[in-house]
Structure 1
């Protein structure tokens, strides 16, 4: 199939109307910044501006939404996933106009973020601790498959996932257990661990990188059916006690506010209303699963990134599930 015809209309650097004050020019990195790949660097507000790209797409938006293809979605990005932008550009944005038209509405909003993560998570001496760029990225060719689970199918998955310890699993727990279980069945000899990323919250106006990962581990000898319990326990371990452990075991030296979990829907609004659809593209991380809200608002889309060699096995297992009417699949 042919790709979208995307023409670049303009490309420019949008610079601030006034210079950044000297006391705001440099951002002190926190401990979490230091150990985060690709952000373990000094941030200099050099007033170079943000890159803004306008493009025209010879297609209707509905064509992309109804039958999304990762190759086409990547054409709508300003840069390649995990690719390098201009060294001077801190932010790169691309807006694409489709044949169906559209109006951009400007809106003024006073945003005053608090860049105080270095206070809550003081920087550490990381001498001898190596940071690898793109850590976790696979050298294998990764293929992305989009799985769409509507409300009815999620209800069915919750019934199947209910176990002795978890009587009422959440939609996310049931869906992750479903994907994980069937991937294990296809590639158990290769599979060791599965991570799920959870985000810890600091004060609402804090700005920066503040995250930890929850690991649910299944040994080669364990049964893969009761995955919901492992997922729930792994996520539940990242709580106030976990943060306090970081504080008092030489990870952090000070934390003045209570840390809670939070989970919010994506609320992106560039001035012309909420988007009808938010998605990702192919990412070079093996066995990565990204969950997003579906177009119907009551379902979930699972974007599964797997090596090409495993794709055929996965497709076979998913097709076998048609008997219980639990999943729709498209590329």
Structure 2
């Protein structure tokens, strides 16, 4: 099925009030510096005929009006990263790119398309390769962009790209829910004043250092048979439905594994087995396989001691690393129990270490050095790292602008080797695992009988 987007309009939405002078130079934090200069992409789908459904033009006008209001609180989105400083945003109120479009297919048919096709149709630009797809808008000039699309069936999609230097997934969800709250308030005669303001002082907790590590791009270059840039990557979605997820968690007995821990252990083990099978099929010695570890992106707002405010704006996400596991040791069914414990311990140890930094037990310089060492290890290709990011608890399915909650939420995965995004479904008791790996390893991975006992291949 081929679809082509029809662009109806493009404009810049600016904040309804000028940003005060004392807020115009916004400092990003050390943790913001450590993420790559890409965007956080999210697409919210709303079916036609939901409660409060309205005309597309009316919907769009409400969204633009409330966006203008809410940008007074989220003023860095309307600014521009300074060319002379990677740690500062010039909050100059130049605005947010806003696009209206029509899609000549039904919403249900569009959801069956590949990630790359959906990205081209429903996002304002490629969030990972912006300069080649942004027309007359330079990447350094846009911190946020929106595309509102209407399907032939009357459903709509809201595609949003937020500068990753300014927001992680939790901050993105918080912003979208605040924007939705401000939009609903319009029907009640308000102006968005009920929205709780975000905290904008993360740089006081994690002062910037003027560095850019971008560790999450390097941590996945290691592999079992060459660099990620030399091999064709594929991304597929595996669904863990409620029944199967419950069975998988029960597999670990009194350990009481969470859904994320259980899925991580199973995917890790299945991926190692796939790498082994793919390597053996290529006629190479199994000893060429590197030891592996799992890296989890962990939201630290409510995990730190003391805890951080849930409204703290920016990237409050750090990485937990498990112990190394030798590939040749993963062959018996009992090892799955070992892996889930290794995953939990890695997260617990990371949080304990990071909490020590805030309590004065360590130096932020030590944190920087730790990540520099990790970056060097991954760059030298000594290990295979499987990177996991979970978006299961951020509330994307609660984003209600006044015409109902999303029927579907899609994230467009960064095309990086051995990266896994865990996404919830609308029911809240299922998890989608979007997995990217080399084509020849995916062939083996998707056949794994233990994996297929608990997950079904969706896309």
- TM-score class, shorter-chain normalisation, is 0.7 to 0.9
Q: Which is worse superposed, 139-148 or 51-60?
A: 139-148
In structure 2, what is the equivalent of residue 196 of structure 1?
Answer: 296
In structure 1, what is the equivalent of residue 313 of structure 2?
Answer: 207
Structure 1 residues 132 and 327, CA, compared in 2 at 3 Å: closer, same or farther? closer
Aligned partners of 1:121 and 1:252 also within 8 Å = no
In structure 2, what is the equivalent of residue 151 of structure 1?
Answer: 242
- Give the secondary structure class of the aligned counterpart of 2:261: helix
Identify the structure with the greater helix proportion: 2
Residue among 121, 145, 170 paired with 2:258: 170
Structure 1 residues 32 and 147, CA, compared in 2 at 3 Å: closer, same or farther? same
Residue among 39, 54, 62 paired with 2:108: 62
Deviations 1:86-141 (A, max 9, x none): 332211111110111148994342342221112222234x5xx6635973374243
Does 2:281 match 1:235? no
Aligned partners of 1:146 and 1:304 also within 8 Å = yes
Aligned partners of 2:239 and 2:433 also within 8 Å = yes
Aligned partners of 2:266 and 2:451 also within 8 Å = no
Runs of 4+ with >6 A deviation: none
Aligned partners of 2:97 and 2:145 also within 8 Å = yes
Q: Could you list the runs of 5+ residues in structure 2 that have no partner in the other structure?
A: 39-85, 159-179, 185-190, 221-227, 277-288, 302-307, 367-391
TM-score by length of 2: 0.62
The CA distance in 2 between the partners of 1:150 and 1:132, in whole Å, is 34
Structure 1 residues 177 and 131, CA, compared in 2 at 3 Å: closer, same or farther? closer
Deviations 1:301-325 (A, max 9, x none): 111111223221112225x755x4x
Q: Could you list the runs of 5+ residues in structure 1 that have no partner in the other structure?
A: 254-261
Structure 1 residues 4 and 41, CA, compared in 2 at 3 Å: closer, same or farther? farther
Does 2:136 match 1:72? no
In structure 1, what is the equivalent of residue 92 of structure 2?
Answer: 46
Does 2:5 match 1:6? yes
The CA distance in 2 between the partners of 1:133 and 1:252, in whole Å, is 16
**How many residue pairs end up in the alignment?**
312
Residue among 392, 395, 399 paired with 1:265: 395
In structure 2, what is the equivalent of residue 119 of structure 1?
Answer: 204
- Give the secondary structure class of the aligned counterpart of 1:146: strand
Aligned partners of 1:142 and 1:283 also within 8 Å = no
Does 2:441 match 1:310? yes
Please tell me the root mean square deviation across aligned C-alpha atoms, in Å.
2.8
Structure 1 residues 20 and 295, CA, compared in 2 at 3 Å: closer, same or farther? closer
The CA distance in 1 between the partners of 2:321 and 2:406, in whole Å, is 32
